[in-house]
Amino acid sequence: MTVEASTREAYGRTLIELGKQNKDIIVLDADLSLSTMTHFFAQEFPERFFDCGLEEQNMIGIAAGLAASGKTVFATSFAVFASCRCFDQLRMCISQPKLNVKMVATHGGISVGEDGTSHHAIEDLSLYCSLPSFTVIVPADAIETTEAVKAAAATYGPFYIRLSRPKTPLIYRKGHHFTVGKSITMKQGKDITIIAMGIMVAKALEAAKMLADQGIGCRVINMHTLNPLDEEAIIKAASETKAIVVAEEHLAHGGLGSRVAQIVAREKPVPMSFVNLKDRYSLSGKPGELLQRAGLTAEGIEEAVKQVIQKK
């Protein structure tokens, strides 16, 4: 049976741990701390937590000012508001001056569910990856979230970490070794490579299992860091397996698929296919239903693998 855990709760708990170690860690939120789980930190360190109210643009400026004064700032909201709502502020106040602000956003993707299109952050990775200074990470589970948040705190510079609303399957155990910018090969295979991030990693592993039963050997890579991208692993996968499927909970353009394709096109062109939200908004509905409708499932990946493998 699959064990599930909440990435946002992992974030909230990790913040407490970091707050104990470093008195210069400051946390900002925009009236969502009960949902984003920054309220754990707020309870433990009330003097180092600032609720900026419904002022996301102002929050980014405040975060930048604190960072310019030597603080390590975690600023949190839902992924839609932490990207689209304050993009110019991210660009001007954090990315261009390369300040030490960690944007950690919960409620990424369509797995937000019933709140519907307005709350589905499916453009965020494209936006953040377009900002040159940002390290962009989408952890694959709650354990990787903890490691990513710790790594962000320990590394100077702007970070974006995208988390989910629902609990997601645990694919790692405690002690999981995580390095920013270094992808993790979850499973070896010689026929094709599936590159995935976030909730799609578990689905890629499931697809690989189904495909193995049909005699197709899949390499599965958890590309948790979108920027900087692990180019070496991509080139190796293209050279050795000669076909690639990229799976992500994001629109077709500007996310992981686009970024991997750019490397493959430049270094080692091979047939590729993409499992993503294409160019479409989703709907209200249960997370599972929405993912099913959009084809962001193990079966969706399986189908993409079968199609692209014929082009080899």
Partner 1 sequence: MSNNIKVASQDTRGTNVFDFSVPELTEMTKKLRRHIITMISTAGSGHPGGSLSAVDIITALYFKIMHHDPHNPRWKDRDRFILSKGHAAPALYAVLAESGYFPVEELTTLRKLDSRLQGHTDRNLTPGVEMSAGSLGQGLSFGIGIALAAKLDHHDYQTYVLLSDGECEEGQTWEAALSAAHFKLDNLNAIIDRNQLQLSGWTQNIMDIEPLNKKWQAFGWHTIEIDGHNFDQILTAFEEAKATKGRPTVIIAHTTKGKGVSFMENNVEFHGKAPTLEEAKRALKELE
Chosen residue from 37, 93, 122, 143 binding partner 1 by CB under 8 A = 93
Strands 184-187 and 218-222: antiparallel
- Decide if residue 130 touches partner 1 (CB under 8 A): no
Q: Concatenated DSSP letters for the chain?
A: ---EE-HHHHHHHHHHHHHHH-TTEEEEESS-HHHHSTHHHHHH-GGGEEE--S-HHHHHHHHHHHHHTT-EEEEEEETTTTTTTTHHHIIIIIITTT--EEEEEES-BGGG-TT-GGG-B-SHHHHHHTSTT-EEE--SSHHHHHHHHHHHHHS-S-EEEE--SS-EE----TT----TT--EEEE--SSEEEEE-TTHHHHHHHHHHHHHTTT--EEEEE--EEES--HHHHHHHHHHHS-EEEE-SS-SSSSHHHHHHHHHHHH----EEEES-TT----SS-HHHHHHHHT-SHHHHHHHHHHHHTT-
**CB of 231: closest distance to partner 1 in angstroms?**
27
Chosen residue from 10, 26, 233, 246 binding partner 1 by CB under 8 A = 26
Closest by alpha carbon to 28, among 59, 7, 4?
59
Residues taking part in catalysis: 56
Chosen residue from 60, 170, 211, 233 binding partner 1 by CB under 8 A = 60
Binding mask 281-310 for partner 1 (x = CB under 8 A): ------------------------------
Whether the upstream peptide bond of residue 228 has omega within 30° of 0, thus cis, is: yes
**CB of 92: closest distance to partner 1 in angstroms?**
5
* Binding range to partner 1, per CB under 8 A, among 58-66, 154-162, 197-205, 224-232: 58-66
- Decide if residue 242 touches partner 1 (CB under 8 A): no
Count of residues engaged in binding partner 1, rule: CB under 8 A:
30
Of 66 and 296, the one with the shorter C-beta distance to partner 1 is 66
Chosen residue from 27, 32, 42, 64 binding partner 1 by CB under 8 A = 64
- Decide if residue 15 touches partner 1 (CB under 8 A): no
- Decide if residue 71 touches partner 1 (CB under 8 A): yes
Closest by alpha carbon to 284, among 136, 119, 126?
119
**CB of 68: closest distance to partner 1 in angstroms?**
6
- Decide if residue 68 touches partner 1 (CB under 8 A): yes
Chosen residue from 70, 174, 175, 279 binding partner 1 by CB under 8 A = 70
- Decide if residue 67 touches partner 1 (CB under 8 A): yes
- Decide if residue 50 touches partner 1 (CB under 8 A): yes
**CB of 103: closest distance to partner 1 in angstroms?**
15
- Decide if residue 53 touches partner 1 (CB under 8 A): yes
Which residues in this chain contact partner 1 in the complex, by CB under 8 A? 26, 47-48, 50, 52-53, 55, 57-71, 88-89, 91-93, 96-98
